[in-house]
Amino acid sequence: MATFTAWKTPTTTSSQLRTGGSQSWSNPNNAQASDNAYATTASLNVTSTHWLWCTGFDFSSIPSGATITGAKVRYERKQSNSMDGGITETYLQLIKGGARTGSEKHVTLLSGWAMADEVSADAGGTGDLWSATFTRAEAVASDTGVALACEDTAANGTIPSIDVVEMAFEYTTSTPANYSFFLVFHTLWESMCGILAVQCMYIRNLISELASRSAIGRSPALP
C-alpha cells in the first residue's frame, strides 16, 4: 500500500538562474516556513522569475528498502497586482542530486494568483513522479527538492510573494517473499493454541471432578 510522508519544508533556499527568467528572488529563506514572511522578486512586467531553489527536506522517515512512487508539492502564494490576471503561470520541477530532473510542471491560472490573501496551491500526487525516478537514498538526500518560478503575462507590474514551499514523497514497502508462509503458520499456530487451551480446560475439569468423587468415596459413613 502506498503511503505519503508528512509535508516537509526546506532548510536550504536560494535564487538560481533560469533560462528566460529576469528577476531573482529576494529573501529566499522566507520560503522555509508558513509565517507570513515572504520570498519576493522585483516587479514583473510581462516577465518571469528565476528559480526559487528549495532543498534540504527531511525525508528520513521513509523506511529503508522503500520504493518511491510519487511526489507532490504545495506552495502558498499571492501577488501585489491582479489586474488582467497578473501572474498566471507557475513552473515547478523536482530536484535530484542538486539538478533539475524529470518534466517541468506548468500550471496556468487565467484569473491569476490571489492578491489580498495568500492561497495554497499544489502539484503532483499519487503515482506521479514527474517523469523522474528516485531511489530511497536519492529521496532522503539533502540536495533533493523542488524549484519554482512564475510569470506575469500582463503589462501591469506585479510582485510575487511565496510564503512557504512544501513537499512530500509517496512510497511503498515490499512484502517479504515468505510473508504468506509465516501468515499461514501464525494462523495455524493460533488455532492449535486455541484447541490445546480447550483440551487443557477439559482435562482440568475432569481431574477436579474425579478428585471430588474420590473425596466423597472416602468420607465416613453417616450413622
Q: What is the pLDDT of residue 220?
A: 46
Please state the φ and ψ torsions of residue 155, each to the nearest 5 degrees: -85, 65
Average pLDDT by stretches of 10, the chain with 223 residues: 96 97 97 97 95 98 97 97 85 98 95 88 97 98 98 88 98 69 60 65 67 58 44
pLDDT of residue 158: 93
- Which residues have C-beta within 8 Å of that of residue 77, sequence separation ≥ 6? 90, 113, 114, 118, 119, 121, 150, 160, 161, 162, 163
| Residue 47 to residues 18, 136, 154, 158, 160, Cα–Cα distance (Å) | 12, 37, 9, 10, 12
pLDDT at 223: 45
Residue for cell digits 509535508?
A: 7
What was the pLDDT predicted at 31? 98
pTM across the whole model:
0.78
pLDDT at 156: 78
Strand ranges across the sheet with 145-152: 12-16, 51-55, 145-152, 87-96, 99-108
